[in-house]
């Protein structure tokens, strides 16, 4: 009975794995897309909150528009009493790298396992299918329940 359970469960796992391989790959792909969309949604919520705060500041301080307009439109300030700092290209590149470094890293839970990517090859899926079917057949043929002879079969054999 133990060997039947072992052979049958291994065969059933191999058979179902070969059949469901494409679905499992699609599951991991969809999980990665969902994670990316959640991150994008969170980023958009953060930007909306920043813009809401900026709009509130614009309502509170009307002089802020004059200061922001110069920077936004790229015009030079003509006020002699104010110093406007200039960022160098290296500083901007370092800031951009620091900000994008967090979003580039892909979480390990959305990548499919190595065994699943190996099993997605059509030849390996076919071999896995036939190996699982073979194990199930072996478990039923050699380790399956024994058919007991009935009394009528015994009597007919004794007469011959």
Residues 6+ apart with CB under 8 A from 76: 70
10 CB-near residues (< 8 Å, 6+ apart): 132, 135
Going from N- to C-terminal start, the domains of the chain cover: 2-76+109-145
How far is residue 131's CA from residue 14's CA, in Å, rounded to a whole number? Answer: 7
pLDDT tens-digit map of 9-38: 999 999 998 999 989 999 999 999 999 999
- pLDDT value at residue 106: 53
- Give residue 65's pLDDT: 80
Please tell me the distance from the alpha carbon of residue 27 to that of residue 22, in angstroms, as a whole number. Answer: 9
What pTM was computed for the model?
Answer: 0.57
Mean pLDDT over residues 106-110, rounded? 62
pLDDT for 115 equals: 85
């Amino acid at each position: 009975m133990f060997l039947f359970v072992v052979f049958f469960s291994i065969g059933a796992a191999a058979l179902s794995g070969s059949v469901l391989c494409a679905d499992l790959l699609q599951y991991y792909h969809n999980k990665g897309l969902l994670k990316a969309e959640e991150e994008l949604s969170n980023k958009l919520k953060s930007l909306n909150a920043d813009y809401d705060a900026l709009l509130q500041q614009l309502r509170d301080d009307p002089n802020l528009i004059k200061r922001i307009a110069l920077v936004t439109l790229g015009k030079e300030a003509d006020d002699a009493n104010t110093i406007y700092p200039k960022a160098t290209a290296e500083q901007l590149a370092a800031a951009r790298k620091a900000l994008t470094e967090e979003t580039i890293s892909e979480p390990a839970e959305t990548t499919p396992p190595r065994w699943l990517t190996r099993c997605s090859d059509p030849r390996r899926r076919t071999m896995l299918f036939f190996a699982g079917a073979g194990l199930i057949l072996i478990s039923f043929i050699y380790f399956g329940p024994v058919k007991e002879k009935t009394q009528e079969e015994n009597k007919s054999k004794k007469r011959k």
